[in-house]
Amino acid sequence: MARDADARKSAILAAVAEVIVEIGFTAMTVADVARRAEVSTALVHYHFSSKSDLIRAAISVAGEEERSSREAIAARDASAQDRIAEMLIGSLPEGPDDPTWLLWIETWGEIRRLPEVRRLMEDLDRHELESISALIVSGRANGEFACEDPVATAQRLVALRDGLAVQRTLFSASAVEDAARLLRSAMSRNLGLPSDDPF
């Protein structure tokens, strides 16, 4: 029975992510989650002590996915430049209402009310900055590009990606449909690459 129980617990967490993406953090109720996972509301409270606990668990899962996908990219056998591009441009929203970005933006708005979530997000943020600055350092070491301050450069690129992602996710995509192009040209400038960019 332990197998079944674990499966249902996972189903509940998956349902949380779905409901948040669909109707948002605020509007989400325990009843919504239970209905989606086809269990009773009492079971949700059986596995998760409170609604905050439920949310924290769901965000923790999403963060873990993000983190491991980043590590997979870092471990790839490709140039530092390509791996940085994959991390940054690959993480841009696919279009308006991209589920992953909606989840993060919703989460930003809720962070103040959920201290543990704040810690999760801070860790995730730090992990991304460290991953990218490490790649910059290695790319610089093997002569791919020149870069005076890897940490500041990583901060700038990540911040730019975040800002573009917010616009692209929340507002009409038209103004930012070329987000990838903007990011790529910023990479060229910031990493001191030979400017082979049309921009």
Residues binding DNA (CB under 7 A): 1-2, 4-5, 8-9, 28-31, 39-43, 45-47, 49-52
| Residue among 28 and 157 whose Cβ is closer to DNA | 28
Task: State whether the Cα torsion 177-179-184-186 is positive or negative.
Answer: positive
Residue 10: CB minimum distance to its own copies, A = 26
| Residue among 143 and 198 whose Cβ is closer to its own copies | 198
Cβ count within 10 A of residue 112: 9
List the single partner that 180 binds among DNA, its own copies, none, CB under 5 to 8 Å by kind: none
List the single partner that 39 binds among its own copies, DNA, none, CB under 5 to 8 Å by kind: DNA
Q: Which two tokens stand for residue 126?
A: 């730090």
Residues forming the site for its own copies (CB under 8 A):
23-27, 97, 102, 105-106, 108-113, 118, 121-122, 125-126, 129, 148-149, 152, 155-156, 158-164, 166-167, 170-172, 175-176, 178, 182, 185-186, 189-190, 199
Residue 154: CB minimum distance to its own copies, A = 10
User: What is the C-alpha to C-alpha distance for residues 69 and 86, in angstroms, rounded to an integer?
Assistant: 11
Asked whether the beta carbons of 54 and 44 are under 8 A apart, the reply is: yes
| Residue among 76 and 189 whose Cβ is closer to its own copies | 189
Residue 29: CB minimum distance to DNA, A = 3
Name the amino acid, one letter, at 43: L
Residue 6, CB half-sphere, CA atoms under 13 Å: how many?
3
Angle between helices 30-37 and 2-23 (to 10 degrees): 120
Q: Which residues contact 99 (CB under 8 A, 6 or more apart)?
A: 21
